[in-house]
Amino acid sequence: MEQPAVNDQPRVHQRTTRTIAKPHVMEEWVGKVFTTLCVTVLVVTIAAIVYFVASHGLATFITDGVSLSGLLSGLKWDPEGDIPLYGALPFIFGSFSTSLLAAIIAAPLGVCAAVFMTQIMPGLGKRVLQPVIELLAGIPSVVFGFVGLSIVVPFLRSVFPGQGIGIAAGAIVLSFMILPTITTIATDALSNLQRGLKEGSFALGATRWQTIYRIVIPTTLPSLLTGVVLGMSRAFGEALAVQMVIGNAPHIPHSLFESASTLTSVITLDMGNTITGSTHNNALWSLALILLAMTFIFVFIVRFLERRNNR
């Protein structure tokens, strides 16, 4: 890890606080305690979330005797059957395939938009494209779900065989939702690029496109990937928009246009119908634990990429 910069936060402050009059010391103390308390609230909250999700999620394996490999690789989810089955592979598959597909759709679009805004027409990009992307970021997920149900699903139904609902519909809706994330981060990365690199390339007689794909994209690749991973992480955790268009059938679909489920959609649908402490309920918490674990993995991938970028 790189050494943090020590030069700001001048040392002088400590000396002044020691010599100032008493009410000021009190004031300083109040401020310090208040802000520290606020940070403590934050830390306690995350600790509590991890603790409670983990304790309920692990109870499935410890007290209810469901095997971990059975949950991760089981193909059949039937918690209310005579022999309850807790195979979550279809949901895990659904979550990964929708978010991956969404990233595959959104990444080229987002990078194109960022290149447009920084390299090709910065003026028009700032005035038109950037506000458009920011607006897109503000649209609530249920509205995306509603639009998905009323445009994307009927469209897929008319073009491809099947009902229209399924992984493809989910991925299209999600790609819209993560486009702003990818674009914003890519734009930041591209505009922070050292001027010299680009100018050097132009000076050697390279065209703009050669400069973009030989110089600009390779240098900023870790940052671009950061955006894609963050977008995927958002797609992975999105619940309602996906649940509305994916169809919610608990099995691995044979095509992209067949009803499927994700981790979030099954939690959304089943949580209200189970009793706290029952095996079914705990199994849902295990799914939430998988979501949580994936969040951590995504954050660590992002950190890894950022560190590579800073080097």
226-285: which residues touch another protein (CB under 8 A)? 230, 233-234, 236-240, 243-244, 264, 267-268, 271-272, 276, 285
**Token duo for residue 269:** 């649908």
Nearer CB in complex with another protein: 2/82:
2
Distance in Å, CB of 146 to another protein, minimum: 5
- Applying CB under 8 A, which part among 69-77, 86-94, 154-162, 295-303 lies near another protein? 295-303
Interface with another protein includes 210 (CB under 8 A)? yes
Distance in Å, CB of 32 to another protein, minimum: 6
Nearer CB in complex with another protein: 82/113:
113
39-78: which residues touch another protein (CB under 8 A)? 39, 41-43, 45-46, 48-49, 52-53, 56
Distance in Å, CB of 134 to another protein, minimum: 7
Q: Which of 87, 90, 94, 125 binds another protein (CB under 8 A)?
A: 125
Number of Cβ atoms within 10 Å of the Cβ of 199: 11
Distance in Å, CB of 76 to another protein, minimum: 23
Site string for another protein, 85-124 (x = CB under 8 A): -----------------------xx--xx-xxx--xx---
Distance in Å, CB of 89 to another protein, minimum: 19
Interface with another protein includes 292 (CB under 8 A)? yes
137-196: which residues touch another protein (CB under 8 A)? 138-143, 145-147, 149-151, 176, 179
Interface with another protein includes 216 (CB under 8 A)? no
